[in-house]
Structure formats: structure tokens, C-alpha cells
Amino acid sequence: MAREQWGTKLGFMLAAMGSAVGLGNIWRFSFVAGNNGGGAFLLLYLGCVFLIGIPLLLTEVSIGRKAKSDVVGSYQKLAPKTPWFFTGFFGIFSAFLILSFYAVVAGWSLYYFFNYVTGNFFEAPAEAGFGAVFGGFISQGWQPLFWTALFMAMVIFIVVSGVKKGIETANKIFMPLLALLLIVLAVFSLSLDGAMEGLAFLFQPDWSAFSQPSIYVQALGQAFFSLSLGMGALLTYGSYLSDDKKLPGAAVGIGLMDTFFAVISGLVIFPAVFAFSIDPSSGPPLVFITLPTIFEQMPLGGIVGLIFFFALSLAALSSAISILEVPTAYFMRLFSWSRKKSSIIVGSIMFFFGIFVSLGFGIWSDVTPIGEKNILDSMDYIASNILLPLGGLSMALFVGWYFKKATALKAVDLKDDLMGSTWYGIVKFIVPVVILIIFVSSL
């Protein structure tokens, strides 16, 4: 059977942007920034995106496009009889870990959407506010699992039936709409009493924070997570791209777009966090408490909330399908499974892990696999802060050191000029050195 291909470069761009923009920009960015002091984190995050993220994004897509195979097969094809294919397993493992908790959080988003459809969340149902509402919801057993299962079923359905085109088309409408909503929300949030404190939190770095090694790891991990980097999603999407499509512009476009969504989310969340006296280091629940509180205060907030959670769920969906695609494509080739069989099996395993993640907010809330971290935080930590950067490191070494310069440049459609040499130097020297330093200092 011939390998599938994107019809046009725009199709690829939309899919790759759909992959990048997701819960990571709004949900994860906000709570990680909140946990790590705001301004200092933002600065390091932006540094990681531009210095490491975008050059590696270009690298990852180019590996897939050159090899036209899955995340493991690509290395086997480009470097036969070498151990480079282990790089691919970073992607496979991260994909399993990440989608297992991503589906749980996306389930929360679906639940919120549902509660805006019914009008339940137009006003905080209890005196205690949305913090208590959210806490009550995630600590139940079945209800959050139902929404996780529903989300996972949708992801599998899309990956099986190849209606990705439908999702891309929907994203054409809803991504700009989400951007517009975020801008409106940011303006509203900034007009709240006490908003300036939030702005200062986000944009005035506390310089003493730079002496903590953990904040570097967090910034690097967030850059990888948000750009869908190191999990094989971009490599796999790149493998469906024909050789005549130029990559560098696409890579920069995806990176800028993704960063825009993160920064604007920060402008929505932090002014409101301070205005409503919410603790910025509330962790994963942060946006699920802050957003409905904003919607409750603004005119037509119920409708805005409804559209917002619809768009957020859709953004999560287009990200999730890119993650499920990674092991799906791998097992299809490895075991000669059909797309249907592969994605159902992989998706079911992820859902199974998701059960643990979800119960980690309820009956298993005292299960802390790593330090004080609950199940979600532990899985997220291993995947985002360890596996993704190591996968990225390995990828940079592969293209920087295994390929000859001319081969590497050709793979990414750059010439041996200033721009090409800059990219090559970054991938060959700077990326490995920076990732290693961040790693070693955090140990």
C-alpha cells in the first residue's frame, strides 16, 4: 500500500499547527509558569523556543520527510545497522506517557464545555467558587473517566477513519477564533482590579529565580511539549510530506504561532489570577479555576465560555491525534497491523494508563511516584522534562554529527550560507551543549 501523503503544504501546516497548539499553550504553560515564578520562567521559555525549539522543529520534520517512515523506522532507514533508531523510542515512550494524561485533561475540557452547554457553569454553583467545583469533579471516580474515555474514543475515531482533513478544516475556523477569544479575554482580564500585579508577575523576572536549576529544566520541557517536539509527532507528520515542499518557513511559522498562543494565554490567566486572589502555583487545576471565574464576571460570559471550551477541546483533539499517530504508525509497520487495529490497541492502552492518572486526583491522591508529585505530575515530569529533551538531544546529534553538513542542509532546504550555517551550528553544537548543561545541573 502506498504511504499516505498530505495533499498540499497548507494541509501539512494546518496539521502541524494543530498539533502544536493545544492544552500545552493554555493549561500547561499557565501552571508551569505559575509554579516557576512567572517572569523568569517566561524569559527562559522564550529563549528555549527560539534557540533550541524552532531549529529542532525544522530538524525533526526533515528527518521524517527524508526517510518517509515512522519514528523508529526513519532512523533505521537513514542509518541502517546503527543504534540511532533508539532515538525513535524516546518518541514512542513519550507519546504513550503524554497522551495518557493529556486525554484526562482534555476530558476535563469536554466536561466544562458540556457544563456551558447546559448553563450549569454560567455562575459558580457553590459558594466556595469554581475551585471547589473543580476539586469535587476531578476527585470523583467515574465522571472524569467517562470524559477521558469519550475524548480518547474521538481521537481513535479520527486516527482510524482518516477524517483528519475534517479536523484541519475545522481548525481553520476555530484556531483563529480561539486566538480572537484569547485576545478579547486578555483585554478583559487586564481591565480587572489588581491586573497589574499579574502583569508584573509575568513580565518582571525575579532575578534570584535564575539561580535555581529546576526552572531551566521546566522551561526546556515546556518548549518541547508546546512545540510537539521530541515526541515523534512532527517527524511522523513530516513523513507524509513530499520533497518539493520547503520547510524553513513552515518551521518558523509554527513556532511563532505556538508562542503567540502561550503568551496571550499568560495575559489572560495571570491578571485574573491576581485579581481574584487565586494561588498562581495551584498546579494543573489553575486554568480550570481561573477561566470560569473570568467568564462569570464578564458580559455574555456564559456564551464566551461555551465557545472557548469548544475551541479548546478541538485544539486538544488536533494535538492528541498527532500523538496517537506516532505509535500507531510504528506498530502498523512493525506488526503489519491495519490502521484501525493499531490505533485501537494503542489508544486503549493509553486510556488504561489514563485511569491511573484520573484516579490520582481522587482515591489515589496520596500516590506520589516521584517526590511530592501525584501520578499526572510524575508522568508529565518524566515525559516532558526528561524524555523529550533527551529525544531532542539525540536528534540533534544525529543530524549534526551523523549526517555530513551538505546532507543536513539539503534535508532542511537550506543553503550553505549564513542562515544555513547558523542553523547547522545551532543543531550541531549549541543544542547538545545547552541540553546537557541543563540536565547535568539539575541532577
Least gap, CB of 226 to ligand ILE (angstroms): 4
Q: Does 24 bind ligand ILE (CB under 6 A)?
A: yes
Cβ proximity of 356 and 369 under 8 Å = no
Residue nearer to ligand ILE on the CB measure, 324 or 427: 324
Counting Cα atoms < 13 Å in the Cβ hemisphere of 193 gives 3
Q: Does 318 bind ligand ILE (CB under 6 A)?
A: no
Is residue 68 within 8 A of residue 239, CB to CB? The reply is yes
Integer distance in angstroms from the first to the last C-alpha of the chain?
Answer: 47
**Residue from 16, 20, 160, 217 binding ligand ILE (CB under 6 A):** 20
Should residue 228 be labelled a site residue for ligand ILE when binding is judged by CB under 6 A?
Answer: yes
> Is position 98 an interface residue for ligand ILE (rule: CB under 6 A)?
yes
CB contact burial 157-191 (16+ within 10 A = b; e otherwise): ebbbeeebeebbebbeebbebbbebbeebbebbbe
Shortest CB 154 distance to ligand ILE, Å? 15
Stretch touching ligand ILE by CB under 6 A, among 21-29, 84-92, 142-150, 185-193: 21-29
What DSSP letter does each residue of 58-111 carry, written as one string?
Answer: HHHHHHHHHH-S-TTHHHHHHSTTSGGGHHHHHHHHHHHHHHHHHHHHHHHHHH
Q: Is 171 in the site for ligand ILE (CB under 6 A)?
A: no
User: Which residue among 11, 22, 38, 347 contacts ligand ILE (CB under 6 A)?
Assistant: 22
Our finding on whether 23 is near ligand ILE (CB under 6 A) is yes
**Cα–Cα distance measured from residue 31 to residue 289, given in angstroms and rounded to the nearest whole number:** 11
By CB under 6 A, tell whether 25 contacts ligand ILE.
yes
Question: What is the distance of C-alpha 353 from the center of its chain?
Answer: 18
Does position 319 interact with ligand ILE (CB under 6 A)? The reply is yes
* Window 410-429: residues binding ligand ILE (CB under 6 A): none
Closest approach, Cβ 328 to ligand ILE, in A, equals 14
Q: Is 225 in the site for ligand ILE (CB under 6 A)?
A: yes
Please classify residue 318 by burial: count the beta carbons closer than 10 Å to its beta carbon, then call 0-12 exposed, 13-18 middle and 19+ buried.
Answer: buried
Shortest distance in whole angstroms from residue 24 CB to ligand ILE: 2
**Residue numbers 35-64 binding ligand ILE by CB under 6 A:** none
Instruction: List Cα–Cα distances, 232 to 12, 328, 395, 417, in angstroms.
Output: 15, 11, 10, 29
Q: Which is nearer to ligand ILE, 192 or 386 (CB)?
A: 386
CA distance 421 to 145: 50
Residue 427 CA to residue 422 CA, distance in Å, equals 9
Question: Which residue, 259 or 275, is less far from ligand ILE as judged by CB?
Answer: 259
Under rule CB under 6 A, residue 280 binds ligand ILE = no
Give the Cα separation of 173 and 384 in Å (integer): 29
Tell me the number of residues near ligand ILE by CB under 6 A: 15
Pick the closer one to ligand ILE by CB: 229 or 306: 229
Residues of the shown chain interacting with ligand ILE in the complex, contacts defined by CB under 6 A: 19-20, 22-25, 98, 102, 225-226, 228, 233, 319, 322-323
